[in-house]
Copies of this chain bind each other. A is one copy, B any other.
Amino acid sequence: MGLAGRIILGDCIAAMESLPPASVDLVFADPPYNLQLQGELHRPDDSRVDAVNDDWDQFESFAAYDAFTRAWLSAARRVLKPDGSLWVIGSYHNIFRVGTALQDLGFWVLNDVIWRKANPMPNFRGRRFTNAHETLIWASREAKARYTFNYEALKAGNEDVQVRSDWFLPLCTGEERLKDDTGRKVHPTQKPEALLARVLLASSKPGDVVLDPFFGSGTTGAVAKRLGRRFIGIERDPAYARAAEARILSVEPLEEASLAAFTTAREAPRVAFASLIERGMISPGTVLTDEKGRYQAIVRADGALVAGPQVGSIHKIGALVQGAQACNGWTFWHVNDNGRLSPIDALRARIREEMGVA
């Protein structure tokens, strides 16, 4: 088993410009945070906090950071497919700059998502609230994009309740945290795989191409490989890139059965109401009612419904009799099935079953 993706060594803007346009389904970016730490930070016991102050994280000014941000976001936008989307993670130091820049460039914000940390670092000086979260922005390439969102699958894994914009997850520690020979962490801001897993499961499909322009220790690549996505990682530090490659090589992809897309109600093939009549499931002249028997309509041979002087589709007539804006006729209208009311949607389900679509 190979890498199941590629790691490009070099500057992320140049590397993205070398990629073909509209070739990427999803971008996940964890850009430098522009932390303006003044001096070193010490814990109450005087031990030094291993803060994020590597060279790559220093920017002279907000203007320089903004220019850098616009440059990489523009490059990312070029390589994104029209229906692709982008995630960026950041903290209050940089996320407002990033959010403003991506809105200005035409990205369309879909959600901001809060990663609530289960075990954040306390505020040792007691001068602020414990900084217990980071912010992710999820945005489509443009306002009208038909982006991927696996709503039903996420809901099924979440007690049948739709997933909220605040996610509670532990930090990346322990076994998962990459360490070098001397036991020191390889990368200062390694993200937990659980976070990337949620991102990829929510907004990409198996086989999609996921680009991470700030690859670092390769969490995006590791999770992409495991979840059957392809990846492109760009990293300018050879040491990080080597660590990422070794890490990803040891990842086992999951079986297809635990990944396959399932057909949702939205994607299920259309069934015409007339086909119920053609198959003899409903006879012309049958009286349909709503669940409580308050409204009724008569089935015509051509699949239209009649309610008084009105003729129309099951949806139109359903809306009309209720005085509603819209109506799903499949769930609204019922037939009398041996003395019990049953929605005509049950008949549609039988047809779909025959068609071999669950």
Interface residues of A, Cβ cutoff 8 Å to B = 42, 46, 48, 62, 91-93, 95-100, 103-104, 109-114, 116, 118, 120, 122-123, 126-133, 135, 137-138, 149-166, 168-170, 194, 197-198, 201-202, 227, 254-255, 257-259, 262, 270, 272-274, 277-279, 284-285, 298-306, 309-313, 315-316, 322, 324-327, 354-355, 358
Contact = CB atoms under 8 A, between A and B. Distances in A.
Given A96-B99, A198-B278, A163 B301 contact: no
A258 B298 contact: yes
Contacts of A257: 285, 298, 300, 306
A254 B284 contact: yes
Given A96-B103, A162-B123, A299 B110 contact: no
A110 B109 CA distance: 25
Total identical chains: 2
> Which of A96, A285, A299 has the most chain B CB within a 10 Å cutoff?
A96
A76 B46 CA distance: 38
Contacts of A133: 114, 164-166
Given A99-B99, A159-B273, A262-B311, 20 more contacts: A92-B99, A92-B137, A95-B96, A95-B112, A97-B103, A118-B354, A123-B162, A126-B152, A129-B164, A129-B202, A130-B164, A154-B303, A157-B300, A170-B279, A254-B284, A255-B284, A255-B285, A257-B298, A258-B285, A258-B298
Nearest to A158: B272
A96 B92 CA distance: 10
B156 A311 contact: yes
A46 B301 contact: no
B303 A157 contact: yes
Nearest to A109: B92
A92 B114 CA distance: 11
Given A198-B278, A284-B254, A325-B46, A129 B165 contact: yes
Nearest to A256: B285
A106 to B, nearest CB: 11
A137 B135 CA distance: 13
A132 B129 CA distance: 21
B274 A158 contact: yes
Contact of A313 (B126, B156, B285, B325): B156
A225 to B, nearest CB: 12
Contacts of A304: 153, 156-157, 262
A229 to B, nearest CB: 11
A62 B99 CA distance: 12
Contact of A159 (B104, B272, B355): B272
What are the 4 closest A-B residue pairs judged by CB atoms, nearest first? A157-B303, A96-B99, A157-B274, A258-B284
A279 B305 CA distance: 33
Given A93-B109, A126-B162, A262-B311, A301 B201 contact: yes
Contacts of A166: 114, 116, 132-133, 166
Contacts of A322: 46
Contacts of A164: 120, 129-130, 132-133
A302 B153 contact: yes
> Which of A92, A127, A168, A311 has the most chain B CB within a 10 Å cutoff?
A92
